[in-house]
Amino acid sequence: MSVSIWTGRYLDTHFDRLGLTPAGARALLQLDPDRAVPTRVLAERLCCDPSNVTSFVDRLEESKLIERRTDPDDRRVKTLVVTEAGRRVRQEMADIIATTPPSLLALTPDEQRTMRDLLNKAWAACESHDTRLRGARRG
């Protein structure tokens, strides 16, 4: 946890150069670039109330990194779509994450791959857990 928090603060300085606040950077990274994400799902991923995402979603939209759209299946639901500009910024962020943090550069390439694979497995478990919780809340 300490390494994660330190790395987040370290990366914030690099993301600032891309014009992103820490909250905006985390939001952009949590959005799926290949499909629309409901605003409430972004709020869940960021562990906050949907009303709290409005300010940084507004900033991302003003920067043309995302677009707000109406869900065609339920017009009451607002979704967030990553634009082409947002995809480019996400790629820059991924490049920064992969090449910059001393916390990762201290590991050998094999150790980095092992850590990536383990974290991807842990993340899949997190997403599965969240999906089950959403299903239980609806049921």
| Residue 131: per-residue pLDDT | 82
Q: How many CB atoms lie within 10 A of CB 28?
A: 26
Q: pLDDT digits over 59-79, tens only?
A: 999 999 999 999 888 999 999
End-to-end Cα spacing for the chain: 33
Mean pLDDT of the chain: 91
Q: b vs e for 54-77, b when ≥16 Cβ sit within 10 Å of the residue's Cβ?
A: eebbebbeebebbeeeeeeeeeee
Say which DSSP state 48 is in: S
Could you tell me the two tokens for 86?
């947002």
pLDDT at residue 135 is higher than 80: no
Structural contact between residues 21 and 63, judged by C-beta atoms closer than 8 angstroms: no
Structural contact between residues 2 and 73, judged by C-beta atoms closer than 8 angstroms: no
Q: How many CB atoms lie within 10 A of CB 89?
A: 23
| Residue 139: per-residue pLDDT | 62
The Cα–Cα gap between 85 and 31 comes to 14
| Residue 97: per-residue pLDDT | 87
Say which DSSP state 49 is in: -
| Residue 99: per-residue pLDDT | 82
Q: Mean pLDDT across the stretch 126-138?
A: 80
Q: pLDDT digits over 7-16, tens only?
A: 889 999 999 9
Q: Mean pLDDT across the stretch 122-127?
A: 90
pLDDT over 70 for what percent of the chain? 98
